[in-house]
Structure 1
Amino acid sequence: MDTINNNTAADPTPPSPPLIPTQSGTLELHDITIVDKVKLKKAISAAALGNAMEWFDFGVYGFVAFALGKVFFPDASPSVQMIAALGTFSIPFLVRPLGGIFFGVMGDKFGRQKVLSITIIIMAASTFCIGLIPSYASIGIWAPILLLLCKLAQGFSVGGEYTGAAIFVAEFAPDRKRGFLGSFLDFGSIVGFVTGAGVVVLLQSLLSDASFLDWGWRVPFFMAAPLGLVGLYLRHAAEETPAFQQQLAQMEKEDQDDVENRPRVSFKEIATRYWRPLLVSVGLVLTTNITYYMLLTYMPSYLSHNLHYSEDHGVLIIIAVMIGMLFVQPVIGLASDRIGRRPFVIIGSIGLLVLAIPAFKLIINGQIALIFVGLFMLAIVLNCFTGVMASTLPAMFPTRIRYSALAASFNIAIIVAGLTPTITAALVDSTGSLYLPAYYLMFVAVVGIITGIFMKETANRPLRGATPAASSKQEAKELLIETLDHIEQSVEDIDGEIVKLQEQIAALELRKQRYIDLHPRLD
């Protein structure tokens, strides 16, 4: 079998096999996208650097939260200072859905590359401005207000950042390497976090406590300017994704009036038609990011404030854990291309459920080696999620709504995830229980298990609404055979469903005739 008819342009409800735009109406070898390696490297670099910058800020903010509490909330108790500083970190997550909706619509209309260039400008500028804000002692209440405004601007831009970057990499990546290449997006996140934490540690070692509180904490935020310029250059140099270009080409084939007058896809329609991938997306984002924020944003404050460890030692342990995560991250992505994404989501969730209490027992023990082991146990679990998330989420939705749908679902979930440091700090402070973070993670693990059970496997399959993508001509031939075999099997499955429906219809017709036979005036 060399070709197979493709008689409809509509997006199917099932995720595979996708109905894809082709040149001749049938799927042939020339329809397989062979990815340009140079363009692919540019795309990954541009996406990963922007994501690294986002998490550079998160890392810096988490590790200087104690200083920000003293600078911007000096009249409060140490516990309230910590909660207030972490609250300023969490509140911007409330505006992320607005940014997600705005940039999602823009990304589906004008392209991924343009939107990612805009988000990195806003993110760099708002992060830089945090370093310029005078202290509470200088301008009073305006200090925390300005801090909140900068964080809100960050939240708005980040609303379109991660999802756009994940889509950018996924739409460039070959089908058989999407997991491995997508893992470098969160690899960039960890690098950004490690860099931010490392800068804080370096400054604290070079400066006195008074100097750090006076001006030293500002230095990491000023670094956002040069990082932003580099990221903007890389994103401006990168080309638009092949999948989005295919979408534009398909639209150009249609009548222009129909294209211009086509009603926009509303979130209500997306939620009605794609409710299952939306729920799976929300579950995966919740599980991943609550674990992420618990481990990498809240734990430094937990170690220093609640367990009274040296701030320097606590930061160094977290940095060592994150460096370990860097080695595991691409391994998980590579393995997911071999055995699938679902196994890692389910295994990671079960691991989180089983290991949360033992990990915190080691952390609370007080010995540095045991603290590291406890944190690294949680880090490996986190790698199971971050290693597959960037390749899993974009595969759930078709090209024409991918940015809008993913940004909406991602940022709805991130509201809850972003509140994790604040809620956890408040609960630990009010109850005095040092195991509350473990209980929190165990609850999240249940969400992850349910998500893993209901999610559909997307590894080694084309993105919905896009042609298969390969890294070489030989791989393209192999993908064509696999795709056609998969389509044949799907046609057979549909034939089977039709037979079942015909049998049900025949049974209903027989039942109907029996009723008619019993009625004297019906024939």
Structure 2
Amino acid sequence: MSQVVAKNLPVTNHFRQVLAAGVGNAVEWYDWYIYSFLALNFSGQIFPSSDPTASLLSAFVVFAVGFLLRPIGGLLVGNLADRIGRKNTLVLTITAMGLGSLIVGLTPTFASAGLWAPIILILGRLISGLSVGGEFAANTVFLVESAPANRRGFFSSFQYVSTTAGQLIASGFATVLVRSLNEAEMSSWGWRLPFFFGAVLSLIGLWIRRGTQETLEVAPEAKRPGVFDAIIKYPKQTLLIVGITIAGTILYYTWTTYLATYVPAGGVTSQGDFLLISTIALFFFMVIQPVVGILSDRIGRRPLLIGYSAIFAVGIVPALFLLTRLGFWGVLLVTMLGMLVLSGFTSISAAVNAETIPTHVRSAGIGFPYSFTVALFGGTAPTMGTLFKSWGVPELFGWYVALLSLISLAVYIFALKETAHKPLPE
């Protein structure tokens, strides 16, 4: 049996690599987050119910369903990136995201199309979920493989710089709409505008990504990796990525997605005010990513991972309590502190994952376990929080998040070795 032979190609224009990956990634995640920010506005149009909580829950179930395709996208599209290269795969994922965004924007209301309305919405989110799963798989390795050996943490941080840029555009757009349009206008047509804008942005990302350099070279005579090679041949690394990701993903989606509905529902902070808070906090989050990434290149990955998970394991319950009782400035402070702590994971997750899996199966080896964990714990965060609320015990959600933080903390302490100052595994 022939052996897989793959190596990383040298990169001459690092700035262009980061820009191309970042712009496309921002477009991908803009679409993903505009859905969560405006779920309150369109859920009643697509999922009519006498109970607003039931309509919102249905919209978040669709949000979670989109996550179910992320592991499949991570595996299939990730394997494609290991076979045909990172660049071509990234062009494919940004095209699919634009299509998914356009479908959601064109979704008819339940009143005009009946059951076809939620079916069309689900189709759009499934396409988005598939492309986002593949996006992370290819984009993660593309960024890290483009980096000099001593700056992988710094380059890795731009994964969430660009993700946050997409969120900022989504949050800013949603804030302008909510403050400019009345409730009836938002529910009837206003919520559609950001999805049409997302489809246009995808074309820009597509154009930029076509000018990148490939980072993977597979020898012509080499056997191309199979779809399941990464899982079968590297089971320990697969499980390790799951453990690394559990806490980070539940905390990330709690802080950046669920709070958009949790905090306004508390009755102290309005939706418009929290969207403004979210925009400010996300900008702060984006700016500090490279700083924390550089720090990890100096002191290593493990200290940051242990620190963020320990702080959230202790602090998530009181933080959620305070967010529903403080005014504007108090909520802003708590939100920004959470963003700062969370950077211990987000700024280096791409580097840690890439430093765990060999080159020839790196995209699929990261894409499947990471996306599976995100689908299971991150994508369900808004749904779980809403379920706890519907059961009359919203405070239990914080304890659920704390438990998951403890699981990853144990992985960081007992299973993860330091990889910051070692070469990427070939």
TM range (shorter): over 0.9
Q: Aligned pair 1:422/2:383, yes or no?
A: yes
Letter in 2 for 1:293: Y
Q: Aligned pair 1:401/2:375, yes or no?
A: no
From 294, 301, 320, the equivalent of 2:280 is 320
- Stretch deviating more after TM superposition (41-50 or 356-365): 356-365
Aligned to 2:269: 309
Q: Aligned pair 1:66/2:36, yes or no?
A: no
Letter in 2 for 1:363: L
Deviations 1:412-442 (A, max 9, x none): 1122121111111111221333x23321221
Q: Aligned pair 1:331/2:291, yes or no?
A: yes
Aligned to 1:378: 338
Stretches of structure 1 that go unaligned for 5 or more consecutive residues are 1-8, 12-18, 22-31, 466-523
Deviations 1:72-122 (A, max 9, x none): 112341110111111111111112222222112211111111111001000
Distance in 1 (CA, whole Å) between partners of 2:342 and 2:61 is: 23
Counting matched residue pairs gives 423
Cα deviation for residue 264 of structure 1 reads 4.5
Aligned to 1:124: 98
Cα deviation for residue 376 of structure 1 reads 2.1
Contact 1:355–1:377, Cα closer than 8 Å, also in 2: no
Higher-Rg member (1/2): 1
Distance in 1 (CA, whole Å) between partners of 2:327 and 2:224 is: 62
Letter in 1 for 2:110: Y
Aligned to 1:490: none
Aligned to 2:211: 237
Q: Aligned pair 1:442/2:380, yes or no?
A: no
Letter in 1 for 2:64: S
Q: RMSD of the alignment, in Å?
A: 2.1
Letter in 1 for 2:261: S
Q: Aligned pair 1:349/2:309, yes or no?
A: yes
From 152, 160, 163, the equivalent of 1:186 is 160
Aligned to 1:206: 180
Letter in 1 for 2:96: I
Contact 1:285–1:410, Cα closer than 8 Å, also in 2: yes
Contact 2:225–2:361, Cα closer than 8 Å, also in 1: no
Letter in 1 for 2:396: L
Contact 1:355–1:378, Cα closer than 8 Å, also in 2: no
Contact 2:48–2:55, Cα closer than 8 Å, also in 1: yes
Q: Secondary structure at the match of 1:463?
A: coil
Q: Aligned pair 1:48/2:22, yes or no?
A: yes
Contact 1:125–1:224, Cα closer than 8 Å, also in 2: no
From 365, 371, 377, the equivalent of 1:411 is 371
Matches within 5 A, 1:96-245: 96-241=70-215, 244-245=216-217
Query: Is the alpha carbon distance of 1:47 and 1:33 closer, same or farther for their aligned partners in structure 2, counting shifts above 3 Å?
Result: closer
Distance in 1 (CA, whole Å) between partners of 2:347 and 2:224 is: 37
Aligned to 1:392: 352
Q: Aligned pair 1:292/2:266, yes or no?
A: no
Distance in 2 (CA, whole Å) between partners of 1:405 and 1:33 is: 19
Cα deviation for residue 34 of structure 1 reads 6.1
Distance in 1 (CA, whole Å) between partners of 2:311 and 2:340 is: 9
Contact 2:159–2:347, Cα closer than 8 Å, also in 1: no
Identity %: 31
Distance in 1 (CA, whole Å) between partners of 2:406 and 2:3 is: 36
Cα deviation for residue 308 of structure 1 reads 5.5
Cα deviation for residue 275 of structure 1 reads 2.4
Query: Is the alpha carbon distance of 1:380 and 1:263 closer, same or farther for their aligned partners in structure 2, counting shifts above 3 Å?
Result: closer
Letter in 2 for 1:367: G
Contact 1:47–1:166, Cα closer than 8 Å, also in 2: no
Cα deviation for residue 71 of structure 1 reads 1.2
Cα deviation for residue 68 of structure 1 reads 1.7
Cα deviation for residue 451 of structure 1 reads 2.2
Contact 1:359–1:377, Cα closer than 8 Å, also in 2: no
Query: Is the alpha carbon distance of 1:390 and 1:270 closer, same or farther for their aligned partners in structure 2, counting shifts above 3 Å?
Result: closer
Letter in 2 for 1:199: F
- Stretch deviating more after TM superposition (165-174 or 456-465): 456-465
Contact 1:58–1:297, Cα closer than 8 Å, also in 2: no
Distance in 1 (CA, whole Å) between partners of 2:346 and 2:225 is: 32
Matches within 5 A, 1:9-24: none
- Stretch deviating more after TM superposition (154-163 or 67-76): 67-76
